[in-house]
Chains A and B, each alone.
Chain A
Amino acid sequence: EAEVAQSPRYKITEKSQAVAFWCDPISGHATLYWYRQILGQGPELLVQFQDESVVDDSQLPKDRFSAERLKGVDSTLKIQPAELGDSAMYLCASRGGLAGGNTMKQFFGPGTRLTVL
């Protein structure tokens, strides 16, 4: 079965450094999501793309976070500068089909575990 790929799986960085995460969704999936999951909590959406366009970035801390999906395929999430509170799991998910309750099934990647020291 096709899978969502993410890299790196683990990243340790120091405060104020820049970090970047990469996601390759399932082929043909137009919708791509980035979620952040703090330890002990459920994932929270950071940004959603439909093809190359941002649909929802209301929860993205735009002073330090940026996301792009230039060709509507793979995506990069960047943090600059990283802060201690950014330590979390960053999950990428993709979905095929159009909006509608019966097609909301999302496929998640393994995540990138970020530790900021």
Chain B
Amino acid sequence: DAKTTQPPSMDCAEGRAANLPCNHSTISGNEYVYWYRQIHSQGPQYIIHGLKNNETNEMASLIITEDRKSSTLILPHATLRDTAVYYCIAHGSSNTGKLIFGQGTTLQVKP
């Protein structure tokens, strides 16, 4: 799976959009971009994933650049409960399914 790079930490004001970037410049054509988050002392939680098109679900939106070398996770109206570590993972179909986590981005939502 391709390596991903994320900023170690970010702050966001409550009610504002949180935009979390991820760089995956060596991603291959069959690798999806997955996002998980981990709230303190809990297991990781799946958020969203995509291949090349932008995706949206009830939790977030995922914007993938046309060259697929980077992506942005958007939480449209961040709440205090969105404070967590966010992991961006590039994950290919040839993989057995294991997730390779990096350090992630610690998002702090402030009132």
Contacts and interface: CB of A to CB of B under 8 A. Distances in A.
Contacts of A110: 42-43
A105 B43 contact: no
A44 B99 CA distance: 8
B81 interface: no
Interface residues of B, number: 26
A2 B104 CA distance: 26
Nearest to B94: A99
Contacts of A42: 87, 101-104
Contact of A104 (B45, B49, B104): B49
A33 B43 CA distance: 13
Contact of B32 (A35, A43, A101): A101
B51 interface: yes
- Sorting the interface of chain A by its residue count into under 10, 10 to 19, 20 to 34 or 35 or more gives 20 to 34
B44 A91 contact: yes
Interface string A81-117: 0000000000101010001111011111111010000
Nearest to A46: B98
Contacts of A48: 96-98
Interface in B48-86: 49, 51
A75 interface: no
A99 B97 contact: yes
A45 interface: yes
A84 to B, nearest CB: 21
Nearest to A55: B96
Given A95-B97, A101-B51, A41 B46 contact: no
A48 B98 CA distance: 8
A105 B49 contact: yes
A95 B46 CA distance: 11
Contact of A43 (B46, B49, B97, B99): B99
Interface of B: 30-32, 34, 41-46, 49, 51, 87, 91-93, 95-104
18 contacts: A33-B97, A42-B87, A42-B101, A45-B100, A56-B96, A93-B44, A99-B96, A99-B97, A101-B31, A102-B49, A104-B49, A106-B44, A106-B46, A106-B97, A107-B46, A110-B43, A111-B41, A113-B41
